[in-house]
Amino acid sequence: MAEILAVRDVVKVFGSVRAVDGVSFAVRKGTITGLLGRNGAGKTTTIRMITGIFMPDSGGIEWRGDTAKGAHFRDHIGYLPEERGLYKQMKVIDHLLFLAEIKGRRAAVVRPQIDSWLERFELGAKRDAKIEELSKGNQQKVQLIGTLLHDPDLIILDEPQSGLDPVNMVLVRNLLLELKKEGRTILLSTHMMNEAERMADDIVLIDKGQVVLQGGLEDVRQSFGGNTLQIDFEGDGAFLAELPEVRKGNVITNTAELTLADGADPQRVLQAAMGRVRVRRFEVGTPSLEKIFIDRVGTETLAAEEAGR
């Protein structure tokens, strides 16, 4: 699949802090890419360089393979910043028209689309209400509509689910999956690993301004956890630790925890086991993204972040 956006070795320094320090990754068309990392890792700064709010100190952003300087493609991006906000005094309809207009759309063209979006988010009745009269959740929905109104090729969402209740969280998740189904490309920045796990095709894990891990979600998980097996069985399983596919084994009465050698096929182990013992449970360990995250970024930092939230 073609890359719609490529970030090439961008660097951004604030004073003595290297907020983003040589980040490179690509976003494939029609996928959801999860930009992961704890708060302050450099996600928002990276996104601000993509959206043209900051100029990178070095490196560049490629849009459909075009490296032309400046944010010439900013009208093709829909951006929902982490710091969300709307003009409180404006009416919903006026505000959405304004957001479309600053993306270069004509009011007459987007007006019918606004109505259908409002219906989709069950906000039809609030069309002429002032923003300040809406609940916080509804304000977020309005802003999300504003992000999508101009029919962007790339949708960038910075922590779209923070501050949402579980119901709205599901609403947003389903919306993102729907958008993907419609063929749109999404760059999703989040520190909620389980959400990223449910949606992302590719992940980019950033810490201290640098990419520490990236690739397809499944590949990443495989590379981290495809090599552990858990087998519950009846019979004498001592032989399991001696199989050629197994690098390290730990067999205790009816349970075996095995670490496979590189490139070994878990199915071969299963066949071998089934020939000699009665297998009651066989599990190829795929560690959660959260586990990988902790493994890479460090337990203490994550714990500190949890406490801070």
Partner 1 sequence: MNKFLAVFKREYIQLVRTKMFIIMTVLFPVLMAGLMLLPGLMMTQGLGEKRIVVLDATGRLHDAYTQNEKPPADGSRRGAGRNLPTKMNVEYVDRAGDKDLETSAKPYIARLSDRDKSRLVDGVLLVPADAVTNTDARLKYYSRSAADFIAEERLSSLTNRSVHRMRLEGRGLNADEVDKLMNDIRIDAVQLSKTGQQKKGGVANFLVGFVLTALLVMPSFIYGMQIMRGIIQEKTDRVVEVLVSSVTPSQLLVGKILGVAAVGLTQISVWLIMGGVLSGGALATTAALAGENVTQFLRLSTFVYFAIFFILAYLTYVCVYAIGGAICNSDREAQQLIAPISMIMLLPWFLLAGLITNPDSSLAVGFSLAPVFGPMTMFIRTLVADPPMSQIATTILVSIATIAVFFWITAKIFRVGILSYGKRPTIPELWRWIKVA
Residue 18 Cβ, how far from partner 1 at the closest point, in Å?
15
53/270 with CB nearer partner 1: 53
Q: Which region, judged by CB under 8 A, interacts with partner 1, from 60-68, 88-96, 203-211, 225-233?
A: 88-96
Rounded Cα gap, residues 228 and 248, in angstroms? 10
Q: Any contact of residue 74 with partner 1 (CB under 8 A)? A: yes
Q: Any contact of residue 53 with partner 1 (CB under 8 A)? A: yes
Contacts with partner 1, 1-40, as mask; x by CB under 8 A: ----------------------------------------
Q: Any contact of residue 81 with partner 1 (CB under 8 A)? A: yes
**Who's near 39: CB < 8 A, 6+ residues apart?**
191, 305, 308
Residue 237 Cβ, how far from partner 1 at the closest point, in Å?
58
22/81 with CB nearer partner 1: 81
Q: Which region, judged by CB under 8 A, interacts with partner 1, from 3-11, 28-36, 82-90, 254-262?
A: 82-90
Q: Which region, judged by CB under 8 A, interacts with partner 1, from 4-12, 89-97, 112-120, 245-253?
A: 89-97
Residue 104 Cβ, how far from partner 1 at the closest point, in Å?
6
Contacts with partner 1, 104-133, as mask; x by CB under 8 A: x-----------------------------
**Who's near 60: CB < 8 A, 6+ residues apart?**
8, 9, 10, 67, 69
Tell me how many helices (H) and strands (E) the chain has.
10, 13
Q: Which region, judged by CB under 8 A, interacts with partner 1, from 87-95, 110-118, 162-170, 281-289?
A: 87-95
Rounded Cα gap, residues 210 and 206, in angstroms? 5
Rounded Cα gap, residues 94 and 130, in angstroms? 9
Q: Contacting partner 1 (CB under 8 A), which of 1, 16, 85, 112?
A: 85
- Contact status, residue 154 vs residue 5, Cβ threshold 8 Å: yes
Q: Contacting partner 1 (CB under 8 A), which of 26, 29, 98, 127?
A: 98
| Residue 91 identity | K
Q: Any contact of residue 298 with partner 1 (CB under 8 A)? A: no
Q: How many residues bind partner 1 (CB under 8 A)?
A: 26
Q: Any contact of residue 163 with partner 1 (CB under 8 A)? A: no
Which among 62, 78, 161 has a CA at the least distance from the CA of 113? 78
What does 163-203 look like in DSSP terms, one character per residue?
Answer: T--HHHHHHHHHHHHHHHHTT-EEEEEES-HHHHHHH-SEE
Alpha-helical regions (H) of the chain:
43-50, 92-101, 107-120, 136-148, 166-181, 193-199, 217-225, 266-276, 289-297, 299-308
Which among 168, 189, 186 has a CA at the least distance from the CA of 176? 186
Rounded Cα gap, residues 92 and 186, in angstroms? 25
Q: Any contact of residue 103 with partner 1 (CB under 8 A)? A: yes
79/224 with CB nearer partner 1: 79
Q: Contacting partner 1 (CB under 8 A), which of 58, 87, 303, 304?
A: 87
Which among 132, 65, 60 has a CA at the least distance from the CA of 92? 132
Q: Which residues bind partner 1 (CB under 8 A)?
A: 48, 51-53, 74-75, 77, 79, 81, 83-90, 94, 98-99, 101-104, 143, 146
